[in-house]
C-alpha cells in the first residue's frame, strides 16, 4: 500500500479561542493538503488541540470549571473555526482522547525500556504560560525569554529524558538532511542551539494533576510537551492500527510557528531516535503576525478576530490574503488597509475583471458560446500569452515542495495579468465591430477563458469554493485535477456563464 502524504499543524493550546496566528498555520496546511490531493496523492491531514498542563488546570479553576469541561468547550470552538474556514483535515486529535493515552503509555514504555528515562530531582525557573523551565542564564531581565512573563522557582522530583545523549546524532541529522528544518535560517538557529550542548529534559510534573499519568507512578503526570508531540503518532495509528501506521508514518511535514521550532526540531526527533522510529521528513517554522507594527495581544485590543474578518471579506479571499501577503516563513504585519489593497488588486481588478468583462463580451457577441474551432488561431500575441504558461506547472510544484505559497500565487497572478494585457492589446471589441465574431475574435476569447480555467485549478487549494464556482461557469464540473493543468483542455464547445461578479471591491 502506497504511503500517505502526512501533513500536520501543531495541536493548539486550548486556553483561548483561535486567532489569526492559528488560522495562518491551519490554512497553510490546508492549502498544501489540497494541492497534494490535486496531484492524486493519498493525503492525511491532521490538526487538533493540546489539552493538558498546569496552565489549563489554572485557567479552568479561574473560570470555575473542571478541566475536562473547560477543554471540551474550547476544542469545540477550534473545530467550529476550521469548519468555518473550509479546512479539509482528515482527523482532529485531542490529547484527552483514550487513543492518545494508549499511544503515550506505549511510547513511554519503549523509551524507558531503551534506558532513556530516569528519575531525579529538578529545580529551576518555570514559566507557566510556556510550560517550560529556564536557567538563570536563559532569563531575560529575570523573565521568560520566550513570552516575557514572570517566572517562578520550582523544585520537584521528576522523570528525565536523556536528551543530552542525542546531541551528536541531531547535529548529524541536520547535516545529512538539509531540508529537515526549514527555512534555512531556522535550521541555522537550531544547529547553533544544539551545538552548545543539550541537557536532559524533565518530562514529568508532580505538583499538579491535570495530565497523563506516568505509567506505574500515578503521582507524576507527563510533561505537557512530551505528551503533546506524541499526538502525531497517535493519529497515525501508533497504538491501535499497525497497518495504518505503516501507511501514514513518518510525517512529510510538520508546520509550526517559529516559537515551537526547537520542540519539533530538537526534542521530537530525539524522542523518535530513542524509540527507534522513523523521523519526520520536514519541520517548517513560519513567522508571526503583528498588527500594524505591534505584537497582537488581548490587552491592547488588536487581536484579529478570524470570524469577523472572514465575514467582512469572505472566507476564500481571507485565505488568499493570508497566503499572499507574506513569504511563508517570515514575519508579517497585518493591516486592514493592506488586506483590502491586495484583495482589490489581485482578485477584483485582475482575476475577477478578467472573467467578468470577457464573459460579458462573449454574451453580447456570440450568445456566451465557444466552439471547437476557436482555439486554432495561431498569431504572435496568442503565442506570447501561451509562453507565460510554459514551465509554470513545474515552477509551482517546486514552490509547493518549499512551502512557498506566496510564490505560487505570484505565478498565477503573472498569468492572469498577462491575460488582461493580452485582452487589451488584441482588443476583440474592435475586431468584432469590423468583422463580427470571426475566428480571430473567437480564438481571443478561447485563450482568455483557458487562462481563467488554468488559474482556477491553480487557485483551488487557496480558494476552493470560488475556484469551483468559476470552473462551473466554464461548464466544468466535479473536482479539479492537477493532471488538467495543461494548455488546451478547455472543453469545446461550451457555454460560458457570466453570473454575478466573483469579487466585489472592498472599500479602503
How long is the chain?
508
Distance (Å) of CA 61 to CA 68, 128, 333, 377: 11, 14, 35, 73
Residue intervals of the chain classified under CATH 3.40.50.620 are 5-287
Asked whether the beta carbons of 502 and 470 are under 8 A apart, the reply is yes
| Superfamily of the domain at 5-287 | HUPs (3.40.50.620)
Q: How many other β-carbons are positioned within 10 Å of the β-carbon of residue 78?
A: 21
Q: Is 213 helix (H, G, I), strand (E, B) or coil?
A: strand
The pLDDT of residue 299: 63
Which residues, given as ranges, of the chain have pLDDT below 50?
none
The pLDDT of residue 297: 67
Instruction: Sort strands 332-334 and 369-370 into parallel, antiparallel or unpaired.
Output: unpaired
Q: What are the helix and strand counts (H, E) for the chain?
A: 21, 18
- State how far the Cα of 186 lies from the Cα of 118, in Å rounded to an integer: 31
Q: How far apart are the two ends of the chain, measured CA to CA in Å?
A: 52
10 Å CB burial of residue 319 (0-12, 13-18, 19+) is buried
Residue intervals of the chain classified under CATH 1.10.730.10 are 336-495
- State how far the Cα of 409 lies from the Cα of 387, in Å rounded to an integer: 18
Q: How many other β-carbons are positioned within 10 Å of the β-carbon of residue 507?
A: 6
Least Cα distance to 39 among 357, 493, 492, 481 occurs for 481
What CA dihedral angle connects 242, 247, 251 and 253, to 10 degrees? -160
Asked whether the beta carbons of 451 and 411 are under 8 A apart, the reply is no
Compute the radius of gyration of the chain from its Cα atoms.
Answer: 26
Asked whether the beta carbons of 474 and 457 are under 8 A apart, the reply is no
* Sheet strands side by side (includes 152-161): 132-134, 117-127, 152-161, 201-202
The pLDDT of residue 420: 97
The residue whose grid cell reads 522530583 is 157
Q: How many other β-carbons are positioned within 10 Å of the β-carbon of residue 481?
A: 13
- State how far the Cα of 285 lies from the Cα of 260, in Å rounded to an integer: 8
Degrees, nearest 5: CA angle 468-474-476? 60
The three cell numbers locating residue 299:
490587552
130 marked as part of a ligand binding site: yes
The three cell numbers locating residue 300:
491592547
29 marked as part of a ligand binding site: no
- 183 upstream amide cis, omega within 30 of 0: yes
Q: Is 51 helix (H, G, I), strand (E, B) or coil?
A: coil
The pLDDT of residue 405: 98
Dump the DSSP string for 1-36.
-PPPEEEEEEEEETTS---HHHHHHHHHHHHHHHHH
Per-position b or e across 134-161, b if 16+ CB within 10 A of its CB = beeeeeeeeebebeeeebeebeebbbbb
Domain 336-495, architecture per CATH: Orthogonal Bundle (1.10)
Helix (H) or strand (E) holding 470: helix 464-473
Dump the DSSP string for 146-165.
TT--B-EEEEEEEEEE-GGG
223: CB partners within 8 A, 6+ apart: 131, 201, 202, 203, 204, 205, 211
pTM given for the model: 0.93
Distance (Å) of CA 206 to CA 52, 152, 176: 14, 16, 39
Each as own residue / partner, the long-range contacts of residues 475-479 (CB below 8 Å, 24 or more positions apart, any chain) are: none
Amino acid at each position: 500500500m502506497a504511503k500517505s502524504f502526512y501533513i500536520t499543524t501543531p495541536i493548539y493550546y486550548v486556553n483561548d479561542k483561535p486567532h489569526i496566528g492559528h488560522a495562518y498555520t491551519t490554512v497553510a496546511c490546508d492549502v498544501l493538503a489540497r494541492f497534494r490531493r490535486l496531484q492524486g496523492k493519498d493525503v492525511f491531514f491532521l490538526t487538533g488541540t493540546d489539552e493538558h498542563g498546569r496552565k489549563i488546570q489554572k485557567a479552568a479553576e479561574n473560570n470555575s470549571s473542571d478541566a475536562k469541561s473547560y477543554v471540551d468547550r474550547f476544542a469545540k470552538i477550534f473545530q467550529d473555526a476550521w469548519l468555518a474556514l473550509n479546512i479539509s483535515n482528515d482527523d482532529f486529535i485531542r490529547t484527552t482522547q483514550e487513543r492518545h493515552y494508549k499511544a503515550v503509555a506505549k511510547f513511554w514504555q519503549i523509551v524507558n525500556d531503551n534506558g532513556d528515562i530516569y528519575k531525579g530531582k529538578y529545580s529551576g525557573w518555570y514559566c507557566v504560560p510556556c510550560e517550560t523551565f529556564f536557567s538563570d542564564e536563559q532569563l531575560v531581565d529575570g523573565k521568560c525569554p520566550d513570552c516575557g512573563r514572570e517566572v517562578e522557582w520550582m523544585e520537584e522530583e521528576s522523570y528525565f529524558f536523556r536528551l543530552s545523549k542525542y546531541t551528536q546524532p541531531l547535529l548529524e541529522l541536520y547535516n545529512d538532511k538539509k531540508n529537515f528544518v526549514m527555512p534555512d535560517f531556522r535550521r541555522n538557529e537550531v544547529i547553533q542551539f544544539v551545538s552548545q550542548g543539550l541537557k536532559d529534559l524533565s518530562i514529568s510534573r508532580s505538583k499538579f494533576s491535570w495530565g497523563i499519568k506516568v505509567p506505574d507512578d500515578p503521582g507524576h503526570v507527563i510533561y505537557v510537551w512530551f505528551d503533546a508531540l506524541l499526538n502525531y503518532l497517535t493519529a497515525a495509528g501508533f497504538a491501535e492500527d499497525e497497518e495504518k501506521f505503516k501507511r501514514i508514518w513518518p510525517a512529510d511535514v510538520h508546520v509550526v510557528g517559529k516559537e515551537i521550532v526547537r520542540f519539533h526540531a530538537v526534542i521530537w526527533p530525539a524522542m523518535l531516535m530513542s524509540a527507534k522510529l522513523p523521523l519526520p521528513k520536514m519541520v517548517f517554522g513560519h513567522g508571526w503576525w503583528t498588527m500594524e507594527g505591534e505584537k497582537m495581544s488581548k490587552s491592547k485590543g488588536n487581536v484579529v478576530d478570524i470570524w469577523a474578518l472572514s465575514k467582512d471579506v469572505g472566507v476564500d479571499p481571507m485565505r488568499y490574503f493570508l497566503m499572499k501577503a507574506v513569504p511563508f516563513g517570515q514575519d508579517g504585519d497585518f493591516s486592514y488597509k493592506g488586506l483590502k489593497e491586495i484583495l482589490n488588486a489581485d482578485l477584483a481588478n485582475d482575476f475577477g475583471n478578467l472573467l467578468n468583462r470577457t464573459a460579458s463580451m462573449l454574451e453580447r457577441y456570440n450568445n456566451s458560446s465557444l466552439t471547437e474551432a476557436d482555439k486554432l488561431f495561431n498569431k504572435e500575441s496568442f503565442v506570447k500569452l501561451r509562453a507565460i504558461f510554459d514551465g509554470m506547472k513545474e515552477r509551482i510544484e517546486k514552490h509547493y515542495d518549499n512551502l512557498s505559497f506566496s510564490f505560487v500565487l505570484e505565478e498565477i497572478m503573472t498569468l492572469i495579468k498577462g491575460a488582461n494585457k493580452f485582452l487589451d492589446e488584441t482588443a476583440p471589441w474592435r475586431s468584432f465591430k469590423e468583422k463580427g465574431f470571426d475566428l480571430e475574435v473567437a480564438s481571443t476569447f478561447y485563450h482568455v477563458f483557458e487562462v481563467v480555467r488554468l488559474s482556477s485549478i491553480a487557485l483551488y487549494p487557496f480558494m476552493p469554493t470560488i475556484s469551483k464556482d468559476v470552473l462551473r461557469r466554464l461548464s466544468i464540473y466535479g473536482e479539479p485535477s492537477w493532471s488538467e493543468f495543461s494548455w488546451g483542455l478547455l472543453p469545446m464547445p461550451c457555454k460560458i456563464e457570466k453570473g454575478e461578479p466573483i469579487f466585489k471591491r472592498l472599500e479602503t
